[in-house]
Amino acid sequence: MILRAAASSDVGRRRRTNEDRYALAPELGLFVVADGMGGHTAGQVASELAARAMVRAVGAAEAGAAAPGERLRQAVAQANAEVFQVAQDKPELSGMGTTLVALLGAGRQIGLAHVGDSRAYLVRCGLIHRLTEDHSLVGELVRRREIPAEAAREHPHRHVLTRALGVRRHVEPEVLEVPPERGDVFVLCSDGLTTHVADREIAGAVAASADLQRSCEVLVQLANARGGEDNVTVLLVRYGA
């Protein structure tokens, strides 16, 4: 499986520190975006720990021993345990956590796992398909049709998560597997992008250039131009064969 990837991350226009982290591990077929929370430095500690733990866990697992989705599930469990334990051991980091969205390519399958409101999309033939549902209060309201999807972006409680990595001893990620087609581009991103940039605009930026790094930077710049209320991270993965 040939996967090519690029990423860009920026502090945004309103925050002093960047609590987003990403990991590119093409030798493992693994790509991760994490958006930390917890105040002060705790958020960036949580996201950094989670991203590193995912790479370590996938690297230590026996390749081919399980489908990519199951391997991600196991890696998420290990990452959650590590973040949770550090928060228990260090009072100044108590309550820290992070969102997580991860992609693992193996054989002829793409596995995806996510916790929180960082998202994964698939751009295929110029059309964008959202692959994840937000683990957030507003996401639940939209799914129950209590508010329209258009209202979610401006809802005052849009940042309240119902599930996050590292906050509790156990967490259950959403896991799926996608059979890729040549030319597919998978988008992993923090909510700093999707707060400001519509899905169709993400698809347009991906389709506009064959240069994945350029597409990442265009999307980050667009989010910042519209206010940059949060840290913004974009990671693109193209399937080649």
3-state secondary structure the chain: CCEEEEEEEECCCCCCCCCEEEEEECCCCEEEEEEEECCCCHHHHHHHHHHHHHHHHHHHCCCCCCCHHHHHHHHHHHHHHHHHHHHHHCHHHCCCEECEEEEEEECCEEEEEEECCCEEEEEECCEEEECCCCCEHHHHHHHCCCCCHHHHCCCCCCCCECCCECCCCCCCCEEEEECCCCCCEEEEECHHHHCCCCHHHHHHHHHHCCCHHHHHHHHHHHHHHCCCCCCEEEEEEEECC
Q: Which residues of the chain have pLDDT under 70?
A: 39-40, 63-64, 137-159, 241
Q: What is the pLDDT of residue 152?
A: 58
Question: pLDDT at position 62, please?
Answer: 72
pTM: 0.92
Looking at residue 66, its pLDDT comes to: 85
The CATH code for residues 3-239 is: 3.60.40.10
pLDDT of residue 235: 98
| pLDDT, position 147 | 61
> What pLDDT does residue 75 have?
97
Q: What is the pLDDT, as a whole number, of residue 146?
A: 56
Q: What percent of the chain has pLDDT over 70?
A: 88
